[in-house]
Amino acid sequence: MNDKRLDTPIQYLKGVGPKLAKVLKKVGLETVEDILYFVPREYEDRTQIVPLGKVQPADFVIVKGLVASVNNQNTRGRFSVLKVRLEDRSGYIEAVWFNQPYLSGLFSHGMKLIVSGRVEMSEYSGTMQLVVREFEIDLGEDLKFVPRYPLTKGLYPKKIREIVKTAVNDYLKEIPDLLPEEIKTKYALLDIEKAIKKLHFPDNLAEVEPAHKRLAFDDFFVFQLGLLLRRKKTKKTPGIAFEIDQTNLDLFTNQLPFELTKAQQRVLSEILADMKGKHPMSRLIQGDVGSGKTIVATIAALAAIQNGYQVAIMAPTEILAQQHYTKVADFLSGQNVRVKLLTGTTQRKEQVSETAEWNLLIGTHALIEEKVQFEKLGLVIIDEQHRFGVLQRAKLKQKACLLASRRSGPAGRDFNPDIIFMTATPIPRSLAFTLYGDLDRSIIDEMPPGRTPIKTNYVPKSKRKSSYGFMRKEIEQGRQIFIVCPLVEESEKLDLKAAMEEAVRLQEDIFPDYKVGLLHGRLKGEEKERIMNEFKAGKLHILVSTTVIEVGIDIPNASVMVVEHAERFGLSQLHQLRGRIGRGVDQSYCFLFGDPKTEEAKERVKAMVESTDGFHIAEVDLRLRGPGDFLGVRQSGLPSFRVADIIKDEEILREARQAAKELLKADPTLKAEEHQLLKESIKSMYGKFLGY
């Protein structure tokens, strides 16, 4: 009987034990399988060890030498320097560690060390020294390319390599090969055992890439199978086959004060085709700020209402819900459609529960509260869905089905509503494949005619005064100004105070002859609405705001957007803020105030100045910040891949998705005997994320 299981707790692996197991848990290692898929962050090439007598200043080197002396020095200000003199036949050098005095006990005279670091000239002695990045005791290990793993306090390079080697030697043959032979052949993939062995202990660096590709492919392939199976399940669920009265819809669109762009027409056609089908629609509509998603959603809503169904439009904030209500009600005036705004504020005022008399309800989370009763909900439109949290998407879909069935028996028995998700946040391809692989996607990739591209400028402190003069001229010409201050949870009170003080400073010192307003999230709904209405009506010339205005504010007369401390914002957020202007016929301007010091901050500002393309900006933002920060760590909802990186491995992701489609074409439900392991792996690896 084979007692070697991949889920064996790591403490039972030879050389570990309970104490070290607690340390390993800090880097996410709890089982033997975790160790096997623990990816080295880099490899140290020990074929390039430099003799001590040949090192040069500014070089990054790997050296080997004997410990000749150990000297731990304390300087003023509790600053310590540990100096270890290393010698070999060619010469010597002093290896230094700063503020790590506890290491001195590790070293003894005559010990062999392998050390990597940068060679610098000492400011005090004028001699060369090696500032150590990593080191280990040389025990004669026969490795030319040494894997370097993420570490934590109490975990040393040599020890983690020993643990990995034990796991590879004892458990490698227990790893199942999930991929069918034809897929491995078509996509030039290694066998799983070889891939894992070469990932950890390559004979040369050229072996690392194909090993990584195989393991990343497995991650993506299994996940994409799960997404596509979920999508197929949705397609089979009974839905509403709407009858589309194209003549009536054409009459409506012809009465609009503008023509739909070709992109809007294409996306609308895709939506209406879905609505005609007998299975529920589940479609993501992407469109840059100002591309015209709202009118497309309005026409889809009208089609559902003409079939006798109700429609719900859900937004993440009261401001955005109010914005939609105003705009959609205006579009539908004269259509005999009863539109209702339902937010926490309106509910407190009116105690709304029965909604049967309304065709279209627009609101916030208040729409999905238990006491709100729908009569016949056929279409749910969720705007800026990423603001609700990606993980909530499945719950929102479930609640939509519940809403639809509250007067129609058990959930989903009579009908499931169609669902449209909308976002103005451009989603890079790799994220779209990962997060929205179960949805049909439509992209409005064309801006309405007459939009003048916004001019964006970085404004250093030295030029701030002249920018205020420019703003004054814009106000004199009848235009309005947004000034946005950052607001983050860690320093919310300080940020809010800064925004308030900035509003006072602008009113009293900079623009005393103009009216300055202040908008922030701590205000009550009625107060926010009052301030926004004053700004819309032109009673306020300048609106100082926190990022509460990031989405949904439409002021065609606003021609300038100033972002204070621009370096504190993410790129996509900056792009969203910039999208609040440029909605009228006049040239609009975005000024980025701040002092970007890091390379990343400078690159964000540079991207904003050089491009207005939301998808390009999103790609740059994703590359700079990574997917967790791009989406918001708490709401990212990203699956935890063992090896794959959705940014660096996008091409592998595309291949894995294609391979998953091909397999499901041959075996739509994975019922074949040889695919049962894959089916189990979907649940074990990604069941929580996929809702299995």
Check: CB of residue 253 under 8 Å from CB of residue 299: yes
Q: Which range (190-204, 277-291, 391-405, 481-495) has the least confidence?
A: 391-405
Lowest mean pLDDT among 4-8, 103-107, 218-222, 685-689: 685-689
User: Does 235 have pLDDT greater than 80?
Assistant: no
Quote the CA–CA distance of 419 and 84 in Å, as a whole number: 66
Q: What is the mean pLDDT of residues 100-110?
A: 87
Mean pLDDT for the stretch of residues 672-690? 88
pTM of the predicted protein model: 0.74
Instruction: List domains and CATH numbers for the chain.
Output: 43-148 (2.40.50.140), 246-276+292-423 (3.40.50.300), 455-611 (3.40.50.300)
pLDDT of res. 282: 87
Nearest CA-CA partner of 517 in 484, 540, 499, 496: 540
Residue 28 has pLDDT above 70, yes or no: yes
Token pair of 308 as six digits: 């006798």
Give the span between the Cα atoms of 264 and 400, in whole angstroms.
25
- List Cβ neighbours of 138 (8 Å cut-off, separation of 6 or more): 64, 112, 113, 114
Contact between 667 and 207 under an 8 Å Cβ cutoff? The reply is: no
How large is the average pLDDT for residues 390-410? 54
- Residue 63's pLDDT is 94
Contact indicator for 656, 221 with CB cutoff of 8 Å: yes
> Would you place residue 88 in the very low, low, confident or very high pLDDT band (cuts 50, 70, 90)?
very high
DSSP 140-207: ----SEEEE----TT--HHHHHHHHHHHHHHHGGGS---S-HHHHHHTT---HHHHHHHHHS-SSGGG
CB–CB of 346/276 below 8 Å? no
DSSP assignment of 367-415 equals GGSTT-B-S-EEEEEEETGGGG-TTHHHHHHHHHHHHHHTTSSSTTTS-
* Cβ pair 546, 605 in contact under 8 A: no
For range 152-164, the mean pLDDT: 88
Identity of the highest mean pLDDT range in 141-145, 287-291, 661-665: 661-665
Burial 215-249, CB ≥16 within 10 A → b, else e:
bbbbbbbbbbbbbbbbeeebeeeebbebebeeeeb
Question: What distances in angstroms separate CA 5 from CA 82, 163, 173, 199, 219, one per listed residue?
Answer: 44, 16, 11, 21, 20
Decide: 343 and 413 in contact? Cβ < 8 Å: no
At residue 402, the pLDDT reads 62
pLDDT in tens, 617-645: 888 888 887 766 655 544 445 677 899 98
C-alpha–C-alpha distance, residues 182 and 673, integer Å: 16
Q: Given pLDDT bands bounded at 50, 70 and 90, which one contains residue 592?
A: very high
Percent of the chain with pLDDT over 70: 89
CA-CA distance, 178 to 370, in Å (whole number)?
Answer: 44
474-503 pLDDT per residue, tens: 999 999 999 998 765 445 566 677 778 888
Q: Assess contact for 518 and 545: CB atoms under 8 A.
A: yes
CA distance 44 to 488: 40
The pLDDT of 224-228, averaged and rounded, is 91
- Band (459; pLDDT cuts 50, 70, 90): very high
Q: Is the pLDDT of residue 409 over 80?
A: no
* DSSP-assigned beta bridge partners for residue 354: 373
- Residue type at 507? Q
pLDDT at 268 over 70: yes
The yes-or-no verdict on residue 611 having pLDDT over 70 is yes
Q: What is the mean pLDDT of residues 560-573?
A: 88
The rounded mean pLDDT for the chain is 85
Half-sphere exposure of 158 (CA within 13 A, CB side): 11
Q: How far apart are CA 573 and CA 161, in angstroms?
A: 42
Residue 390 confidence (pLDDT)? 41
For residue 316, pLDDT beyond 90: no
Query: In the prediction, which pLDDT does 118 show?
Result: 94
Closest residue by Cα to residue 280 from 248, 249, 237: 237
| DSSP code of residue 524 | -
Angle at CA of residue 641, ends 635 and 644, nearest 5°: 120
Lowest-confidence range among 31-40, 80-89, 429-438? 429-438
CB atoms within 10 A of CB 108: 9
